[in-house]
Amino acid sequence: MTKLRELILLAKSLRDDQAQVLYTLARARRVAKNPRQVVSLTVPGLNYPISLRAGGPDYFTFHQIFVNLQYQHGLPIDPSFIIDAGANIGLAAILFAKQYPKAQIFSIEPDGENFRILVDNTAPYPNVRCFKAAVWPTESPLEIANPDADNPAAYTVRAADPASRGPLPGLTPFSLLRLANRERIDIFKIDIEGAELELFSNDCDQWLSRTTLLLVELHDAQRPGCGEAFFRSICRERFTYFQRSETSIVHFDRTSRP
């Protein structure tokens, strides 16, 4: 961002909260020395600073969540249990914790570096619990398929090789319901870099029937068939669908159920 653009944002930030967020983000991006450098960011409207790699893709994730507001669904939901699958560094979890302070939130992230930042970012929020794992249709050992990826927001998982050292646990939606001692998933945010293909292709009807709201990012460009598996699965239910930025939002009609 040019200095002139930054000065314009500074002037706007004096009277506009959204511009203040953009100005704070622009400054953090300029200060970052390399894409992996973690900086602390004080964000207007949040009680605690956020750690992120402002010179890398965390910048764009922050922009999606706090500027484009892609998880703002506008639906009359008062959730008690939220699953954040593909939590990355915890920005969505922070948004949910701020919006729904009484909800129990489970954040699942497979990568070690992302997980460390996730834990730091969500530490001030007692309703967030973090798991170094991946959401998968079975409770199978997993591994990161592309550990050398340049983009820390683009790690994918696969079934672990038998010789794999320190495999990750695979957690199913029912695993998480059991751990939370819950019967229903009120909000299920899914951004799992293509593993939605497996998740929605394998016996998903039972946990979908216990879910109220899906917030899903599909990755057909990387793994063709993700969208087909997703839409084929949800079409067995009654729902309202709309798109916000990269997120497919599905609100299931549960009015006829107890």
Domains plus CATH for the chain? 1-68 (no CATH), 73-252 (3.40.50.150)
Summarize pLDDT for 164-188 with one digit per residue, the tens.
Answer: 777 899 999 999 999 999 999 999 9
| Amino acid letter for position 108 | I
Which residue would you say has higher pLDDT here, 74 or 10?
74
- Residue among 245, 237, 178 at smallest CA distance from 216: 245
pLDDT tens-digit map of 206-243: 999 999 999 999 999 989 999 999 999 999 889 999 99
In sequence order, what E strands does 25-119 have?
A: 39-41, 50-52, 81-85, 104-109
Q: Give pTM, 2 decimals.
A: 0.89
* pLDDT score for 17: 61
Residue 182 · residue 81 · CB < 8 Å: yes
